[in-house]
Structure 1
Amino acid sequence: MKIEIWSDIMCPFCYIGKNNFEQALQQLPFKEAVEVEWKSFQLEPGLDPEKTQNTIQYFKEKKGFPEAQASQMISQVAQMGKGAGIDFNFEKALITNTFSAHRLLHLAKKYNLSNEMEEALFIAHFIDGKNVGDTDVLVALAENLGIDKEEARKVVSSEELDYEVHQDIQEARNNGISGVPFFVLNGKYAVSGAQPVEVFKEALEQTYKETVSPFKDLSGGSGASCDADGCSI
């Protein structure tokens, strides 16, 4: 069963959603049959990749919120994070353009490490206060996961994987996805936002039952029938 997740690194609800989704998945007997694919999405594609802002500055300058309102919103998100097992460090988080980070995610996908890279990027941005638009920071994250640092440097500094990033973003537009996180469950159902663990669990169970789980034979399999080896009564 395939789960596609559109996400941006600087979205705190994407990190919360990831943790809640993973907690739900761990409770399910078919968890080994689930394939997760991370998809790129940019909340602020117009941000200057050469500049950073702290979270308060971003809300004040970009969103026009008074500092008190911005601080209150950040505090509320931090409380949500604690419920998902995340200790957000918004005082250190640096807001910047995330396009190069998405390039790195697509490189990690090549090595089946996209989930590990998504987590590493969230930690770098929200916990460690690192600049996830900086080439050296991104190369170090890649190297920590065993990806060749020269290959990583080449990818994040060039247009080599730009097509893949843009394809994810265009696919989101084509599907009417305007906010993240956004989860598509085996091409049949969708879950939007950082939902509670129980919501993810129920959605995954329903999707598996309807799209993967084999039919239950209510007859007991004792009726007359034919197969590749012939017919029997």
Structure 2
Amino acid sequence: MKITFWSDFNCPNSYIGLNRLKKAIDETNVDVKWEMKPFELYPTLFDTATGSIITQNVIKYGLTPEIAGQKVDETEKIALKDGIQMNYHDIKLTSSRNAHRLVKYVQNRHGEVGIEVVFRIYEANFIENKIIADINVLVEIASDLGLDENEIRSMLEGDSYDFEVQIDEEDAIVMGVESIPLYFLDTSQEQLIIPGAFEKEDFRIAIKDLMNGEITSKSYI
């Protein structure tokens, strides 16, 4: 199975959804090739921290600070139920462009750790509250997964894969992608599109039905 998903490293629902989907895949013992596609929620952010997540969500979504804070609390509680010790309140919100460039590079050159680097960036951002725009942080993540530090640093210090990230984001606009996460599950005969962070059991049932050829009578959109 090929799973292509549009997500962003600043999107907590993308982290929660991918965690649930990965657990569902593990339980069904399906062999999967993963590909992450970029969808930057805050494309104008810089590489240095620019205020709290509550302030950013007040600006971006027009919420009051109180409601924005409540939503952050709710997200942390949902993540905790799934075993993720998320510290969303203290996230160092920065550009996710470098992180997406790293993922594109790893998926193309070192696919065997492609999904692992995605999870490690999410953990660095939402659990460890590191600055994921920082090249040193990304190099450390990649080297911890066994990749060559000099190779990764050289790539990140240039503009490699910036164009590829931009193309993917333009493709999302053409396709009408308006929110994330969004998952495309492909087998040799069927395709299933799942918008949003399903519960793990719902993901598992959808995967089972897709593999058994029983998905055509159901809708998950």
Deviations 1:7-29 (A, max 9, x none): 10010001100111012112214
Residues 100 and 157 of structure 1 are in contact (CA less than 8 Å); yes or no, is this contact kept in structure 2?
no
> Hey, what does 2:17 align to over in structure 1?
17
Q: C-alpha distance in 2, partners of 1:191/1:44?
A: 23
**Equivalent residue runs for 1:119-134 within 5 Å:** 119-134=119-134
- CA distance, structure 1, for counterparts of residue 32 and residue 49 of structure 2: 38
**% same residue:** 30
The answer on 1:189 being equivalent to 2:187 is: no
**Are positions 1:203 and 2:212 aligned together?**
no
Query: Per the alignment, in what secondary structure is the counterpart of residue 95 of structure 1?
Result: coil
Q: Which portions of structure 1, spanning 4 or more consecutive aligned residues, are displaced by more than 4 angstroms? A: none
| d(CA) in 2 for partners of 1:202, 1:176 | 26
The one-letter amino acid of 1:163's match is: F
Corresponding residue for residue 7 of structure 1: 7
Measured in 1, the distance between the counterparts of 2:202 and 2:102 equals 30
- Structure 1 distance, partners of 2:56, 2:148, is 34
Q: 1 or 2, which has the higher helix percentage?
A: 2
User: Which runs of 5 or more structure 1 residues have no equivalent in the other structure?
Assistant: 212-233
With structure 1 as the length reference, what TM-score do the two structures score?
A: 0.83
Structure 2 spans left out of the alignment, 5+ residues: 215-221
Partner residue, 1:46: 44
**1:5-154 equivalence runs, <5 A:** 5-29=5-29, 31=30, 33-109=31-107, 110-112=109-111, 113-154=113-154
Structure possessing the higher radius of gyration over alpha carbons: 1
**Alpha carbons of structure 1 residues 73 and 128: separation in structure 2 relative to 1, 3 Å:** same
RMSD: 1.8
Aligned to 1:164: 164
Q: How far apart in 1 are the matches of 2:156 and 2:67?
A: 35
Q: Does the Cα contact within 8 Å between 2:72 and 2:89 map onto a contact in 1?
A: no
Aligned length: 209
Q: Aligned partners of 2:135, 2:145: CA distance in 1, in Å?
A: 16
Out of 96-105 and 50-59, give the one that drifted further: 50-59
Deviation of the 1:49 alpha carbon:
2.6
Quick one: distance in 1 between partners of 2:14 and 2:201? 17
Length-normalised TM-score, structure 2: 0.87
Q: Give secondary structure in 2 for the equivalent of 1:210.
A: coil
